[in-house]
Structure 1
Amino acid sequence: MSGERRAAGSRARPAAAPIPPRCAPGPRSPRQVCAPGLRGRRGPGLVARPREGGGGARALGWGTASGAGGRAGAAASRRCGMAARPPSSRSQRTTGSTCLHALSELLGLPLDQVNFVACQLFALFAAFWFRIYLSPGKTSPDVRHALVTIFGIYFVIFCFGWYSLHLFVLVLMCYGIMVTASVSSIHRPLMIVTQKITTLAFQVHDGLGRRAEDLSAEQQRLAVKVKPSFLEYLSYLLNFMSVIAGPCNNFKDYIAFIEGRHIHAKLLEVNWKQRGFHNLPEPSPTGAVIHKLCMTLVSLLLFLTLTKTFPVTCLVDDWFVHKANFLTRLCYLYIVMQASKPKYYFAWTLADAVNNAAGFGFSGVDKNGNFCWDLLSNLNIWKIETATSFKMYLENWNIQTATWLKRVCYERVPWYPTVLTFFLSALWHGVYPGYYFTFLTGILVTVAARTVRNNYRHCFLSSRALKVVYDVVTWAVTQLAVSYTVAPFVLLAVEPTISLYKSMYFYLHIISLLIILFLPIKPHAHIQRQPQTLNSVNKKKKD
């Protein structure tokens, strides 16, 4: 089970506190806000935090910060009629370690969030030490496996306390299934857990239970043809680099990293003699790590300021729902959803930096000869913010989770891959209604966007000016569509979601349905998306 899906287990619910009279008469729990039905799991003016796929961003909830960011957040909370809660009640509620309680009180942040950041920072330094002093040339793979597993187990216990037993029991049960089940059905029982275990399950199934000619080229490359040892299995699932915040990675890539073949194999893909090298270079991740840490720092500052100033709870405030005009609601929704991103940017970029610092994540050499350390990157911020299509946005957000969904669902199901992949994603995130609102809306928007693109994009490619106009319009539409679609993901409950969509007149649902009903959908699109196996290639050659 990935780190971000376990973060929620480390918190208990706070004690109730009265709401100021301006929101509504009578006492209420701090889990309530002005709009009835909107409930949060954290505290003042906070909705329940989203449970996303890729990583430990969930550990960065909507906690109130001290200083300027805290004052801005408090002001926004008062605007939305939300109550304040003493920081001590936030910081004490955790099943993990309490040794950082004093720091939690000083910062005014919940203790589970402080524990998360502390573990990731410690993991960063441990990763540098691991790469330098326990490199494959100095240490055996077994020692590297053992140490990353021990550190990972310690981090899990530090963050989640006795809740970590849930993770350990699942890991051990699934290993027992893997070594005893038939190879032809090994992927079925392991689907009860997420990402890494299901990734490994399908890759073992591909390597031991299917014929090579029935696999796509990608499936052949990743197929695991020998069952992993118990130490390899534990190391892959519980290593300290990714046990808290991810990201997901392939078993063969991880084993190659532990055994010291990870970078060398990528370098062999390049003809270095033509580039003037007599020996293979030795790429260093230091530059990539420093760059990602700078991005992490900027994201943290934005989280402590922008995110606090525009909390998502204001989307169901009386002013937004009943008084603001439609254009104002549209713009404010975009701003609020933009303000919700920095916590994800922080968690995922920091997790990427930790893996790179350990020497894991090298993806090869780009066309300019630069070394790339983005094999495990979970997002591309520039492409997200400049996306001109719903598809482009999703491809660059939570990349490793999207890749996992593609490999275990989209490429394997025979019918309705888009619908089933969205449904699996919602089911994996949890059972909150908001997730299903988001993913059902996402299906409509994806199909509608693809239909418009297939029918009209070619009309704007005849001149550079038209292409610029097309890009600007599609960028604006994409950003607004994403904001509209993902809002229920952070609101979670049914009532606030319906309240928000009613205030927006369900405009995107209506437009998407009209597009799907009245514009032609090319029937061969699905066939083009099917994975190409050796059998399909041979069949085409015969034809």
Structure 2
Amino acid sequence: MDALFIPLAGVVGASVDQIKLITCLLIAYPLGSLFIRIPSNQPALKHLFNIGITLLFFFPILRLYSAFFQLLASILATYYLTRNYHGSKMPWVVFCLVMGHLTVNHVIRAVYNLSYETLEVTGPQMVLTMKLTTFAWNVYDGRRPAADLDKWQMAKRVTQFPSLLEFLGYSFYFPGILVGPYLDYADYMDLINETMFKKLEVKGKYGRNVPSGRKRVAYRKMIFGLLYLGVYVVFGSWNYGVSLTPWFVQQSLVSRIATYQVCGVVERMKYYAIWTLTEGASILTGLGFTGITPSGETLWTGAANVNVLVIEFPSNFKVLLDAWNMKTNVWLRECVYKRVTPKGKKPGFRSSMITFATSAFWHGIASGYYLAFLTGGFVTTIGRLARANIRPLFLEAPGTPPSIAKRVYDIVGMVITTLLLNYTASPFMLLTARSSFITWMRLGCYGHIVIGGSMAFFYAGGSKFFRNLQAKQAAKVSHRGSPPGTPENEKQFMVPPSFDQIVPPQK
């Protein structure tokens, strides 16, 4: 089938593998409409449909024969272990097995110096790694007392072990097999059985359980995804690599920093494109339904992996992380961050750094990944310190409109967050430590200055200073007889950013 893709790749100016990937994502749209028409009382047909479409993607279109059988080997090994190994270490054995397999392929990719445009096993394997390790924890939770589980663990636990066909259907869910979104087994079975739809009193067209509005949302996602892709194709030369060109050196420091912010927007467009396209295809299968508004409009936000507006206009780094690669953040939080924390203790710095390291390890072996996530860990720390110490001073009483000071604080926070995002993310794209350090030097090391200066300030007495200001402000408000402003709930999980590249990940 390459004869169909080679001419198109020449016209667009992209690689054949990239054209194939986009083609698969677009083909998934009409296939998603076929999938949802399979009756819910025929679950086996839905599982077989997922497996069949995945075979279509991997064999005649992508020609990834070895990749498919490698994924199948990880799936069968996970199925065997989770079914037969009842020990408490079972999830970690599965984790080490599938992550180790992924790392071997990351090494092979690095040895052969494959470009990010080359589609091979590691892209789909990264998605599958999340699914298999999550399934292992879900099975483990299904064997534990309910009193020991939190809300997420109770909702996602597997108490009835699936058949092999069900597990293969879950593993090869076709809209997400190449670039995600990753989903857990409970959500997959709800999709197969249409559980979330059967609870609704409102029916869709022709008396079906599926509510209306799905196609409208899905095809709107497709249009936006193609627009993002078009922006990247037209302006793709404005990327983080521009920092390594002679032209960049000739610019003033302010111009370099400003240029890099523009490059960051263009770099993110390819992620927006891929994740938005696959979200739309998933919605067509029925995934992502989150309810109905009082006006009767259906909501389909459960398959989202990115919130573009929040990322481009973030109020702080925590909000940005929550909106970027959201499904991977869930996986890291539920399968790493919370699991490495000893029972009865709150997650702390150790849990956070293990989670950051896991995220970097999952992405590959390039030194740029580790520089990006290490820097991101420190950015998260200073962001938490700012929210705890400075932000409460600008909060008004509940129900009161934000003051001018609060609006200025939010604008300043947005600018600083965006500057730190593009500074921190650059090593992830540049890959090598040498290129990363050169870039940081040419940007005046502004990110490290902000990070180092902030940490020195807060730990050298800044935190105590702002805590005293908070106490004085609360005393004044209390003296006037009005309740002080209540800060937002700052309880959070420090989930590392996942600056994924268009699948397959750049190595």
Q: TM-score range by the shorter chain?
A: 0.7 to 0.9
Q: Deviations over 1:336-392 (max 9, x none)?
A: 111111111111011011111112221123465531111111011111122110011
- Displacement of 1:395: 0.4
Work out whether 1:167 is the aligned partner of 2:71.
Answer: yes
Q: What pairs up with 1:301-340 in 2 under 5 angstroms?
A: 301-308=230-237, 310-320=238-248, 322-340=249-267
Q: Say whether the 8 Å CA contact 1:104–1:114 is kept in structure 2.
A: yes
Which of 172, 185, 189 is matched with 1:251 structurally? 185
Taking structure 1 as reference, are residues 365 and 183 closer, same or farther at Cα in structure 2, changes over 3 Å only? farther
Taking structure 1 as reference, are residues 352 and 206 closer, same or farther at Cα in structure 2, changes over 3 Å only? same
In structure 2, the partner of 1:482 is 421
Q: Say whether the 8 Å CA contact 2:317–2:417 is kept in structure 1.
A: yes
In structure 2, the partner of 1:113 is 18
Q: Deviations over 1:449-472 (max 9, x none)?
A: 111221111222356111111111
- Cα distance in 1, alignment partners of residues 327 and 18 from structure 2: 23
- Cα distance in 1, alignment partners of residues 70 and 322 from structure 2: 32
- Cα distance in 1, alignment partners of residues 293 and 320 from structure 2: 22
Q: Deviations over 1:222-258 (max 9, x none)?
A: 1111222111111011121211221111211111111
In structure 1, the partner of 2:146 is 212
Q: Say whether the 8 Å CA contact 1:383–1:396 is kept in structure 2.
A: yes
Amino acid at match of 1:288: V
- Displacement of 1:97: 5.3
Q: Say whether the 8 Å CA contact 2:371–2:427 is kept in structure 1.
A: yes
Number of matched residues? 421
In structure 2, the partner of 1:60 is none
Q: Deviations over 1:423-465 (max 9, x none)?
A: 1111111111111111000011110111122111122235611
Work out whether 1:348 is the aligned partner of 2:278.
Answer: no
- Cα distance in 1, alignment partners of residues 491 and 304 from structure 2: 27
Q: What pairs up with 1:463-474 in 2 under 5 angstroms?
A: 464-474=403-413
- Displacement of 1:99: 4.9
- Cα distance in 2, alignment partners of residues 282 and 426 from structure 1: 40
Taking structure 1 as reference, are residues 216 and 357 closer, same or farther at Cα in structure 2, changes over 3 Å only? same
Deviates more, 1:453-462 or 1:354-363: 453-462
SS in 2 for 1:340: helix
SS in 2 for 1:519: helix
- Cα distance in 2, alignment partners of residues 447 and 526 from structure 1: 17
- Cα distance in 1, alignment partners of residues 443 and 14 from structure 2: 34
Q: Deviations over 1:119-151 (max 9, x none)?
A: 11111111112223x132xx5111111111111
Structure 2 residues without counterparts, runs of 5 or longer:
99-128, 203-207, 342-347, 397-401, 468-487, 495-507
- Cα distance in 2, alignment partners of residues 117 and 264 from structure 1: 33
Q: Say whether the 8 Å CA contact 2:225–2:276 is kept in structure 1.
A: yes
Q: What pairs up with 1:422-501 in 2 under 5 angstroms?
A: 422-462=356-396, 464-501=403-440
In structure 2, the partner of 1:222 is 156
In structure 2, the partner of 1:198 is 133
Q: Say whether the 8 Å CA contact 1:203–1:224 is kept in structure 2.
A: yes
Q: Deviations over 1:146-188 (max 9, x none)?
A: 1111111221233242232222222222222222222533202
Amino acid at match of 1:151: I
Q: Say whether the 8 Å CA contact 2:306–2:326 is kept in structure 1.
A: yes
Which of 97, 102, 108 is matched with 2:7 structurally? 102
Q: Say whether the 8 Å CA contact 2:58–2:64 is kept in structure 1.
A: yes
Amino acid at match of 2:439: L
SS in 2 for 1:388: coil
- Cα distance in 1, alignment partners of residues 354 and 159 from structure 2: 28
Identity among equivalent pairs (%): 28
RMSD across aligned positions (CA): 2.7
- Cα distance in 1, alignment partners of residues 81 and 282 from structure 2: 29
- Cα distance in 1, alignment partners of residues 88 and 161 from structure 2: 13
- Cα distance in 1, alignment partners of residues 453 and 339 from structure 2: 30
In structure 2, the partner of 1:156 is 58
Amino acid at match of 1:161: L
Taking structure 1 as reference, are residues 316 and 223 closer, same or farther at Cα in structure 2, changes over 3 Å only? same
Deviates more, 1:180-189 or 1:238-247: 180-189
- Cα distance in 1, alignment partners of residues 141 and 298 from structure 2: 31
Taking structure 1 as reference, are residues 129 and 508 closer, same or farther at Cα in structure 2, changes over 3 Å only? same
More helix by proportion, 1 or 2? 2
In structure 1, the partner of 2:44 is 142
- Displacement of 1:307: 2.1
In structure 2, the partner of 1:410 is 337
Amino acid at match of 1:130: F
Taking structure 1 as reference, are residues 295 and 100 closer, same or farther at Cα in structure 2, changes over 3 Å only? same
Q: Say whether the 8 Å CA contact 1:97–1:161 is kept in structure 2.
A: no
Q: Say whether the 8 Å CA contact 2:181–2:303 is kept in structure 1.
A: yes
Q: Say whether the 8 Å CA contact 2:211–2:298 is kept in structure 1.
A: no
Moved over 3 A (4+): 96-99, 105-108, 366-369, 520-523, 525-531
Give the TM-score, by structure 2 length. Answer: 0.78
- Cα distance in 2, alignment partners of residues 366 and 500 from structure 1: 47
Amino acid at match of 1:159: L
Q: Say whether the 8 Å CA contact 1:444–1:509 is kept in structure 2.
A: no
- Cα distance in 2, alignment partners of residues 106 and 249 from structure 1: 35
Q: Say whether the 8 Å CA contact 2:333–2:493 is kept in structure 1.
A: no
SS in 1 for 2:236: helix
Q: Deviations over 1:71-90 (max 9, x none)?
A: xxxxxxxxxxxxxxxxxxxx
Structure 1 residues without counterparts, runs of 5 or longer:
1-95, 273-278, 532-543
Q: Say whether the 8 Å CA contact 2:368–2:427 is kept in structure 1.
A: yes
Q: Say whether the 8 Å CA contact 1:307–1:342 is kept in structure 2.
A: no
Q: Say whether the 8 Å CA contact 2:221–2:276 is kept in structure 1.
A: yes
Taking structure 1 as reference, are residues 435 and 98 closer, same or farther at Cα in structure 2, changes over 3 Å only? farther
Q: Say whether the 8 Å CA contact 2:213–2:297 is kept in structure 1.
A: no
- Cα distance in 2, alignment partners of residues 107 and 527 from structure 1: 46
- Displacement of 1:528: 4.8
- Cα distance in 2, alignment partners of residues 211 and 293 from structure 1: 43
Q: Say whether the 8 Å CA contact 2:142–2:159 is kept in structure 1.
A: yes
In structure 2, the partner of 1:81 is none
Q: Say whether the 8 Å CA contact 1:150–1:239 is kept in structure 2.
A: no
Taking structure 1 as reference, are residues 527 and 302 closer, same or farther at Cα in structure 2, changes over 3 Å only? closer
- Cα distance in 1, alignment partners of residues 450 and 11 from structure 2: 49
In structure 2, the partner of 1:233 is 167
- Cα distance in 2, alignment partners of residues 444 and 184 from structure 1: 33
Work out whether 1:515 is the aligned partner of 2:454.
Answer: yes
- Displacement of 1:280: 8.3
Q: Say whether the 8 Å CA contact 2:243–2:442 is kept in structure 1.
A: no
